[in-house]
């Protein structure tokens, strides 16, 4: 079992098809070219003596090439976040030496000076003339070998390196993608960063399905819309903040629909999608299939999907239970089991709020230097809070660590946020706990008004109190122009908390 | 007879077919292609010979094959003219559910 096998099969079945196109310059690889290039780069990596292949740059053709090269060479692939500071990057790089580093040209000299780092500019890595030696022999088929080390975007403490073995990634692809299922005309627009698990999953699933990938290195709504139209894109994945910006742009352009008749499917995930955004998006893309995907780095990407039929059903239904599912992340993929447990680890019944546990072939739950945090039966505690309804639909409630403890009572920010988001003037909301002398923690909220709307705080509190117990009504509600998100759409709750704690 | 481990790769002795084991029963099993025992993909053992006419159904790249009890599942990674069988019983092509594209 090896990630290279996915490319080997694509190369055998449709070698002449275009595999990847860099949307910023139009350069591309066919599957045959990518396969051959990976073999030659694997020889260079082996000759360097490196034990890791590190990629530090925006999405480009070196992204898929370095992933498959590392699999062939038998060294873990380590994509690093190019948005980190120089000091942060250097600290992470030192944890993965001896390293073969593929990076931006202006970083080669400085990072190449780090001990045991062989730095190569992306253009030189892609230049076939500099890699003329073919690799000897096949790649390893040992399913236990490490395929990817991915530093998680943990909001506290030193980043942890999640360990994904070949068996996890290949299992994920085999259980979620049908080989060669894409047509010649299928094209996928990939705008998630290459150091994100969704970026790695996009490379593998596109290769296995035979779908042409158009890479968008630096997301802007304008570039996304332009590339989607130009390449007649049929599939795309976005994080909620990206979809919000796309919808804003389409609104500003004043058209009734997005004018992208080729876009068959649009998937989103990576954070909580505001109901107002998804409802508007479904109007702009009336013939597009929407899917909501939920997954973690430690689970090799997607574990739960809310599919297109469910999206349509929730919009047309009058049953509040079914309508509510539009804000769920759907049901577990085949081969994935999900449970909700309470603080003592006891299994909860349908509807109970607690921590999400997951188990399956694609679930790693392992960190470098710390081993696996899965329990004896293979269950991984995600540290995400949530609940599952009678039909198996999973609802996210934020991080388990975000639970507010007020006077000994555990309050879920997600529950309060869901109610506040039903207010007609509220576009976005974040609920956090702030220090309180009397209660230990008090509930506080930052809200964003819809364009042109103003928010009556007292009326809002009354509305919340009509639907939830008084302990859940925020003591502090502050109106903000926008909420802080990171570049992959994750709400920076600690920033909200720090700000509201000072007010 | 060979022990099949998940992720293990085997090649046909009588055609171009290759497979990867997705799941397998414990212990030694008799996995054949074209009616002849399959070889570990790294094996140097001689190949050639004839496909048994009852086992000439072929395998297609990307398709999954299972036995009736669903204790064995393999993925075809290279096309071939031979058919796969476990202890003489031809494997069946597995139906796959279509999932929404998410990445």
Q: What is the pLDDT of residues A99-122, one digit of tens each?
A: 999 999 999 999 999 999 999 999
Average pLDDT value over all residues in chain A: 93
Pairing state of beta strands A354-360 and A336-341? antiparallel
Chain B CB within 8 Å of residue A207 CB:
no
In a domain, A271, yes or no: no
Assigned token pair, A337: 């089991």
Q: Does the pLDDT at position A209 exceed 60?
A: yes
The H or E element containing residue B89 is strand B89-90
Predicted-complex ipTM score: 0.93
Of A174, A267, A291, the CB nearest to B22: A174
pLDDT above 60: residue A156: no
Calculate mean pLDDT across residues A272-290. 88
Domain boundary among A168, A183, A218: A218
Nearest CB neighbour to A143, from listed B6, B62, B96? B6
Contacts of B10 in chain A (CB under 8 A): none
- Asked if the C-beta of A105 comes within 8 angstroms of chain B's C-beta atoms, the answer is no
What CA–CA distance (Å, rounded) separates A288 from A281?
10
Element (H, E) at A52: strand A52-56
Instruction: Establish if B41 touches chain A: CB-CB under 8 angstroms.
Output: yes
Question: Given a cut of 90, is residue B1 above it in pLDDT?
Answer: no
Within 8 A by CB and 6+ apart from B69, the residues are none
Give the domain CATH number at A206: 3.40.50.12780
Inter-residue contact A193 to A220 (CB < 8 Å): no
Contact A302/B at CB under 8 A: yes
Chain A positions in Cβ-Cβ contact with residue B98 (cut-off 8 Å): 178, 181
Check A179 against B41: CB less than 8 A apart. Answer: no
- Tokens encoding A500: 């509201």
Q: Mind telling me how many Å the CA of B63 is from chain A's nearest CA?
A: 8
Cis peptide leading into A457, omega within 30 of 0? Answer: no
pLDDT of residue B21: 95
Query: What does the pLDDT read at residue A94?
Result: 96
Checking if the pLDDT of A368 tops 60, the result is yes
- Sheet-wide strand order for A426-436: A426-436, A440-449, A476-479
* pLDDT computed for residue B57 by the predictor: 95
Distance CA A442, CA A437 (A): 9
- pLDDT given at position A153: 65
Interface of B with A in 5-34 (CB under 8 A): 6-9, 20, 22
| Among A404, A386, A406, CA closest to A296 | A386
Give the H/E segment covering residue A100. strand A99-103
Ordered alpha helix ranges (H), B8-63: none
Question: Is residue A102 within 8 Å of residue A120, measured between CB atoms?
Answer: yes
Where does the pLDDT of residue A29 fall: very low under 50, low under 70, confident under 90, or very high at 90 and above? very high
Q: Pick from A218, A251, A274: which residue ends a domain?
A: A218
Distance CA A131, CA A120 (A): 12
Residue A171 exposed, middle or buried by CB count within 10 Å (0-12, 13-18, 19+): buried
Cβ-based contacts of A170 with chain B (< 8 Å): 7
What backbone phi and psi angles, to 5 degrees, belong to A100?
A: -100, 110
User: Is residue A391 domain-resident?
Assistant: no
Confidence of residue B43 (pLDDT cuts 50, 70, 90): confident
Q: Do A167 and B6 touch (CB under 8 A)?
A: yes
Residue A176 is assigned to a structural domain of this protein: yes
- CATH number, position A492: 3.30.300.30
CB contact under 8 Å between B6 and A265, yes or no, is: no
pLDDT at A482: 92
In a domain? residue A354:
no
* Alpha carbons A176 and A352: distance in angstroms, whole number: 28
Highest mean pLDDT among A160-169, A305-314, A427-436: A160-169
List phi, psi (to 5°) of A460.
-65, -45
Cβ distance B103 to A179 less than 8 Å, yes or no, reads no
Using CA atoms, how far apart are residues A495 and A432, in angstroms rounded to an integer?
Answer: 10
The number of residues in chain A equals 503
Distance CA A404, CA A440 (A): 9
* Tokens found for residue A106: 């202006």
pLDDT band at B52 (very low <50, low <70, confident <90, very high): very high
Q: How confident is the model at residue A157 (pLDDT cuts 50, 70, 90)?
A: low
DSSP characters over chain B = -EE--TT-EEE-SSSS-EEEEEE--SSEE-EEETTEE-EETT----------GGG---B-TT-EEE-TTS--EEEEEE-BSSPEEETTEEPEEPP--------
Any chain A CB within 8 A of the CB of B97?
Answer: yes
pLDDT-wise least confident of A31-40, A272-281, A415-424: A272-281
- The residues spanned by each domain of chain B are 2-93
- In chain B, the percentage of residues whose pLDDT exceeds 90 is 75
pLDDT of amino acid A240: 86
For B94, the closest chain A residue by CA position comes to A178
How many contacts (CB atoms, under 8 Å) link A and B? 76
Q: Give me the mean pLDDT over the A58-79 stretch.
A: 98
Predicted pLDDT of residue A140: 92
Confidence class for position A370, pLDDT limits 50, 70, 90: confident
Alpha helices in A49-159 (DSSP H): 62-73, 86-94, 108-112, 122-126
**Rounded-to-integer distance, Cα A177 and Cα A373, Å:** 28
Q: Which is it for strands B36-37 and B39-40: parallel, antiparallel or unpaired?
A: unpaired
> Last residue of a domain, which of A218, A241, A258?
A218
pLDDT greater than 70 at residue B40: yes
Q: Is the minimum CB–CB distance between B57 and chain A shorter than 8 Å?
A: no
Chain A CB contacts of B100 below 8 Å: 265, 267, 289, 291, 305, 307-308
- Which single residue is written with the structure tokens 């969704």? A198
What are A378-402's pLDDT values in tens digits?
A: 999 998 999 999 999 999 887 777 8
Average pLDDT over residues A280-309: 94
- CB within 8 A of B57, min separation 6: which ones? B83, B90
Cβ distance A176 to B99 less than 8 Å, yes or no, reads yes
Q: Which domain holds residue A475?
A: 403-503
- The total number of structural domains in chain A stands at 2
Token representation of residue A11: 């190369």
A398-409 pLDDT, tens digit per residue, is 777 788 888 877
Contact across the interface for A170 and B62, Cβ inside 8 Å: no
Q: Do the Cβ atoms of A29 and A19 come closer than 8 Å?
A: yes
Helix%, strand%, coil% for chain B, nearest 5: 5, 35, 60
- On whether any CB of chain B is under 8 Å from the CB of A15, the answer is no
* Closest Cα in chain B to A293: B102
CA–CA gap between residue B88 and residue B93 (Å, rounded): 16
Q: Tokens representing A365?
A: 């739950």
Q: Per the structure block, which two tokens stand in for A112? A: 């190449």
Residues of A in contact with B97 (CB under 8 A): 334
Of B7, B61, B103, the CB nearest to A167: B7
- Which SS3 state, helix, strand or coil, does residue A361 take? coil
B74-103 pLDDT, tens digit each: 999 999 999 999 999 999 999 877 777 777
- Chain A residues touching residue B8 (CB < 8 angstroms): 141
Interface residue B2 vs chain A (CB under 8 A): no
B102–A293 CB contact, under 8 Å: yes
With CA atoms as reference, report the closest residue to A417 among A275, A288, A318.
A275
CB A66 within 8 A of CB A181: no
Q: Are A68 and A38 in contact (CB under 8 A)?
A: yes
Residue A433 in this model has a pLDDT that exceeds 70: yes
In chain B, whose CA is at the least distance from the CA of A290?
B100
The contacts of residue A474 (CB under 8 Å, 6+ apart) are A416, A431, A443, A444, A445, A461, A464
The pLDDT of residue A47 is above 90: yes
Token duo for residue A189: 């627009």
Nearest by Cα to A102 from A146, A39, A44: A44
- Closest CA relative to residue A445, chosen from A491, A410, A489: A491
For the residues A406-413, what does the mean pLDDT come to? 82
Strand ranges of the sheet holding B18-23, from the earlier edge strand across to the other edge: B39-40, B9-11, B18-23, B73-78, B64-66, B92-93
Say whether A79 sits in a helix, a strand or coil: strand
- pLDDT at residue A290, as a whole number: 95
Q: What pLDDT sits at residue A154?
A: 55
Nearest C-alpha in A relative to B74: A174
Query: Residue B61 and residue A180: Cβ atoms within 8 Å?
Result: yes
| CB of A12 less than 8 A from some CB of B | yes
Higher-scoring residue by pLDDT: A46, A369: A46
Angstrom distance (rounded) from CA A393 to CA A350 = 10
């Amino acid at each position: 079992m090896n990630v290279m096998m996915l490319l080997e099969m694509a190369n055998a079945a449709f070698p002449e098809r275009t595999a990847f196109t860099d949307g910023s310059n139009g350069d591309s690889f066919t599957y045959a070219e990518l396969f051959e290039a990976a073999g030659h780069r694997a020889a260079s990596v082996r000759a360097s003596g490196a034990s890791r292949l590190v990629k530090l740059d925006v999405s480009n053709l070196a992204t898929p090439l370095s992933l498959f090269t590392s699999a062939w060479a038998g060294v873990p692939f380590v994509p690093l976040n190019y948005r980190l500071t120089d000091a942060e990057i250097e600290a992470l790089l030192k944890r993965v030496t001896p390293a073969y580093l593929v990076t931006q040209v202006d970083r080669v000299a400085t990072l190449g000076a780090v001990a045991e780092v062989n730095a190569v500019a992306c253009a030189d890595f892609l230049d076939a003339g500099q890699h003329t030696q073919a690799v000897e022999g096949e790649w390893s088929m040992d399913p236990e070998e490490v395929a990817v080390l991915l530093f998680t975007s943990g909001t506290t403490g030193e980043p942890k390196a999640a360990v994904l073995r070949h068996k996890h990634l290949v299992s994920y692809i085999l259980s979620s993608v049908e080989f060669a299922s894409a047509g010649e005309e299928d094209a996928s627009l990939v705008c998630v960063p290459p150091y994100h698990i969704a970026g790695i999953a996009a490379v593998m699933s596109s290769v296995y399905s035979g779908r042409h990938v158009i890479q968008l290195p630096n997301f802007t709504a304008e570039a996304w819309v332009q590339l989607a139209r130009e390449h007649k894109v049929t599939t795309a994945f976005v994080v909620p903040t990206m979809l919000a910006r796309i919808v804003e742009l389409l609104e500003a352009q004043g058209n009734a629909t997005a004018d992208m008749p080729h876009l068959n499917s649009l998937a989103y995930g990576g954070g909580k999608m505001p109901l107002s955004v998804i409802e508007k998006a479904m109007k702009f893309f009336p013939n597009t299939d929407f899917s909501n995907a939920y997954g973690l780095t430690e689970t090799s990407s997607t574990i739960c999907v809310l599919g297109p039929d469910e999206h349509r059903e929730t919009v047309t239904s009058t049953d509040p239970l079914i309508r509510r599912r539009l804000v769920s992340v759907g049901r577990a993929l085949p081969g994935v089991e999900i449970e909700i447990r309470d603080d003592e680890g006891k299994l909860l019944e349908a509807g109970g709020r607690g921590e999400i546990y997951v188990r399956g072939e694609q679930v790693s739950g392992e960190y470098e230097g710390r081993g696996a945090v899965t329990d004896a039966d293979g269950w991984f505690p995600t540290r995400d809070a949530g609940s599952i309804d009678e039909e198996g639909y999973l609802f996210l409630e934020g991080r388990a660590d975000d639970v507010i403890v007020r006077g000994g009572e555990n309050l879920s920010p997600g529950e309060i946020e869901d109610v506040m988001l039903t207010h007609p003037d509220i576009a976005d909301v974040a609920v956090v706990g702030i220090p309180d002398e009397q209660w230990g923690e008090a509930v506080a909220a930052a809200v964003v008004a819809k364009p042109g709307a103003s928010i009556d705080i007292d009326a809002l509190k009354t509305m919340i109190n009509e639907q939830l117990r008084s302990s859940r009504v925020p003591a502090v509600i502050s109106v903000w122009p926008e909420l802080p998100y990171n570049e992959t759409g994750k709400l920076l709750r600690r920033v909200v908390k720090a700000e509201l704690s000072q007010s | 007879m060979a022990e099949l481990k998940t992720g293990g790769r085997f090649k046909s002795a009588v055609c171009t077919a290759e497979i990867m084991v997705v799941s397998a029963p414990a212990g030694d099993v008799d996995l054949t292609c074209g009616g002849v025992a399959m070889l570990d993909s790294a094996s140097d053992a001689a190949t050639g010979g004839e496909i048994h006419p009852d086992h000439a159904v072929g395998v297609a790249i990307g398709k999954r094959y299972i036995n009736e009890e669903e204790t064995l599942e393999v993925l075809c990674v290279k096309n071939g003219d031979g058919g796969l069988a476990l202890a003489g019983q031809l494997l069946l092509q597995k139906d796959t559910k279509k999932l929404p594209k998410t990445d």
